[in-house]
Amino acid sequence: MLTLATRPSFHTLLDALALTAVDPTPPAIIYLQTDSPPQTISREMFRRAVTGYASGLRGLGIQPGELVIIAHTQNLESIYAFWGALLIGAVPSMFPTLTEKLDADVYMQHMAELVRLSAVKAVLTTDEFAPQLQTAVTCLVYGSKEIGRLEIRDSISNLQSLVSQSPDPQSIAFLQHSSGTTGMQKGVALTHTAVLNQLAAYSDALHLHAQDVIVSWLPLYHDMGLIAGFLLPLVQGIPLVLMSPFDWVSHPALLLRAIHDYQGTLCWLPNFAYNHCARRIRARDKEGLSLASMRLFINCSEPVRYDSHQLFLAAFAENGIRPEILGVSYAMAENTFAVTQTVPGRTAVLDTIDEQSLTHKQYAQPVAADHPQAAVKVSCGPVIAGTEVAVWDADGRTLPDRCVGEIAIRSNCMLTEYYRRPDLRPFVNGWYKTGDKGYMVGDQVFVIGRAKDLIINAGKNVYPQDIEAIVNDVPGVHAGRAVCFGVPDEKEGTELIAVVAEVKTDDPAERKEINKVIRQEVARQSGVSVSFVHLVGPHWLLKTSSGKIARAANREKWQAEIGN
């Protein structure tokens, strides 16, 4: 397996054990779908499928170094497409699929912009969607049938023949695209070396072993799903039990059933998923299920909430959930994935602090649990090997323990660049400024929120400026006089979306219609739901001295006005 000790023997992702291990019989992937029997894909079947897809891409003229976007509904074909592209030296990138929540025209516009900025060679998608997409983009678009005609299926001996030469370990292996609501053009470019460094260090931090089984429902276009729930198990040659995120959201008990049936040991979840499982899984659906095989549920992607962990623990203690298996990782695409990881087998470190001191003094002052302003923060653990973390003030100076500042990281698994975006410079003297606020206590990293205005809504990154742009186009809204911000939802363990907009009318019926249109347009164009719409008169919104809408100040004003 790939560890820090064996790292020199792995040169590129094509050394993945799912492709190279001597024994071809163990399962590489077990794919689950509702109303369908499980599909078990052995290593040999995986190699044949990847080889076939690679030959199809080669037959289409895809060359090494060319960018290929994979825009399928998440299924086995999207997995084979990704590895097939890697096999011939192309640069694959998983992309969110078009769903019924998104307006097709808006999606097409954003895909066209991605193609233009990133010089995409081809988009791989479904046969049904390909003709429609081809009218919107300037690159080639291929459906499944066209690639299938060119696939080689007879022998895995073609595996090596498709690799004209071993890829340069320093070449770009794939892109992870930032997961904003509408503007998805910022591609995080990662080399083979960076990804292997991450997987080696993270595997050691997880105490990964050959008997592990990873269970995941996460979308493959997100770093948590792509790295932890996809690349890690296939590179390491351990089974991956995978299901559709759409199936999981509708039937969250599928996750527990999969863990029970396949003796799962590792599973990554965003914070909202703990609440979703605890509140949506019925007693009869968890009856008789054992989760005792689990070594770690790992909370990442959102700020970690202590109450979400407690809710999950209470709901599933009788099924084998214990405090020490509720782990935490601080992760981001720019570092390939993990920055930190709590120690397996140990309960995550908790820090009880004065919330007012944190908010107003930017200092995490320890207090007793019965303090009137006590708040429990959950540590994300220590940094993994090869990664450094610092907490900086506004001038880039390192702050002492418990002082809140912006988290900066430096590592050997960092992005090379934002792909074909020379206007974006991610590094400051070799460090990456994350935009996250947090503090440290010894080797423990605590993440408390965003320095930027990013909203995390049900596991999705929502950029307020994207929502504001939609609202500003709604008839009746004063253009440029709308603000969007997140509101913590204690019950669900996520953030709700609030919009405040200045309008030109006092008529109640007209305001009711504007309110409805705002909700409809945001849902149509971004796929997220607005929980609060507050319409106000002219000059209500506060701006900064430079003329920008002040989100934090307007959030406070809104909360004071509605009595929240």
- Do 391 and 511 reside in the same domain of the chain? no
Who wins on pLDDT, 337 or 275?
Answer: 337
d(CA 277, CA 297): 13
508 φ/ψ sector (left φ>0, alpha ψ -120 to 50, else beta): alpha
List, in sequence order, every beta strand (DSSP E) within 347-404.
350-354, 374-378, 387-392
Range scoring the smallest mean pLDDT among 68-82, 377-391, 417-431, 544-558: 544-558
- Do 482 and 546 reside in the same domain of the chain? yes
Q: Is residue 157 part of a domain?
A: yes
- Do 397 and 494 reside in the same domain of the chain? no
- Do 422 and 442 reside in the same domain of the chain? yes
Query: Quick check: 54 and 82 in contact, CB under 8 A?
Result: no
List, in sequence order, every beta strand (DSSP E) within 397-471.
405-411, 417-418, 427-428, 431-441, 444-450, 455-457, 460-462
The CATH number for 524's domain is: 3.30.300.30
Neighbours of 68 (CB within 10 A): 27
d(CA 537, CA 451): 29
Cα torsion 201, 54, 92, 330: sign: negative
- Do 421 and 506 reside in the same domain of the chain? no
At 185 the pLDDT is 63
From 404, 431, 450, the end of a domain falls on: 450
The CATH number for 395's domain is: 2.30.38.10
Is the pLDDT at 324 greater than 50? The verdict is yes
Is the pLDDT at 19 greater than 80? The verdict is yes
- Do 135 and 40 reside in the same domain of the chain? yes
Contact partners, residue 327, CB within 8 Å, separation at least 6: 296, 297, 298, 299, 341, 342, 344, 348, 381
Is the pLDDT at 119 greater than 50? The verdict is yes
Vertex 325 angle, CA 320 and 331, to 5°: 140
Mean pLDDT of all residues in 504-524: 94
Mean pLDDT of all residues in 450-461: 76
Ranges 7-21, 99-113, 424-438, most confident? 7-21
At 183 the pLDDT is 45
At 546 the pLDDT is 46
Instruction: Name the domain count of the chain.
Output: 3
- Do 392 and 509 reside in the same domain of the chain? no
From 250, 283, 299, the end of a domain falls on: 250
d(CA 306, CA 267): 18
For 153-169, the pLDDT digits (tens) are 544 455 556 655 689 99
SS3 label, residue 51: helix
Neighbours of 364 (CB within 10 A): 25
Is the pLDDT at 43 greater than 50? The verdict is yes
At 558 the pLDDT is 94
Q: Is residue 182 part of a domain?
A: yes
d(CA 390, CA 403): 11
The CATH number for 178's domain is: 3.40.50.12780
Mean pLDDT of all residues in 38-63: 94
Query: Quick check: 206 and 341 in contact, CB under 8 A?
Result: yes
Confidence of residue 64 (pLDDT cuts 50, 70, 90): very high
d(CA 296, CA 306): 16
Question: Which residue bears the tokens 């695409």?
Answer: 333
Q: Is residue 424 part of a domain?
A: yes
Is the pLDDT at 458 greater than 90? The verdict is no
Is the pLDDT at 196 greater than 80? The verdict is yes
- Do 446 and 480 reside in the same domain of the chain? no
The tokens for 162 are: 């498709």
**Complete DSSP assignment for 116-183:** HHHT--EEE--TTTHHHHHTT-SSEEE-HHHHHTT---S-TTHHHHT-SSPPPTTSEEEEEE---SS-
Mean pLDDT of all residues in 197-220: 97
For 137-147, the pLDDT digits (tens) are 999 999 999 88
- Do 464 and 442 reside in the same domain of the chain? no
At 543 the pLDDT is 74
Average pLDDT, rounded, for the chain = 91
Q: Is residue 277 part of a domain?
A: no
From 250, 273, 290, the end of a domain falls on: 250
What is the domain range of residue 387?
349-450
Is the pLDDT at 123 greater than 90? The verdict is yes
At 135 the pLDDT is 93
Q: Is residue 532 part of a domain?
A: yes
- Do 545 and 439 reside in the same domain of the chain? no
**Complete DSSP assignment for 251-262:** -THHHHHHHHHH
- Do 444 and 461 reside in the same domain of the chain? no
Q: Is residue 66 part of a domain?
A: yes
At 451 the pLDDT is 73
Range scoring the smallest mean pLDDT among 171-185, 262-276, 381-395, 444-458: 171-185
Q: Is residue 270 part of a domain?
A: no
Q: Is residue 310 part of a domain?
A: no
- Do 459 and 439 reside in the same domain of the chain? no
Who wins on pLDDT, 412 or 270?
Answer: 412
d(CA 274, CA 325): 13
Confidence of residue 149 (pLDDT cuts 50, 70, 90): confident
The residues facing 352 across adjacent strands are 376
Who wins on pLDDT, 450 or 245?
Answer: 245
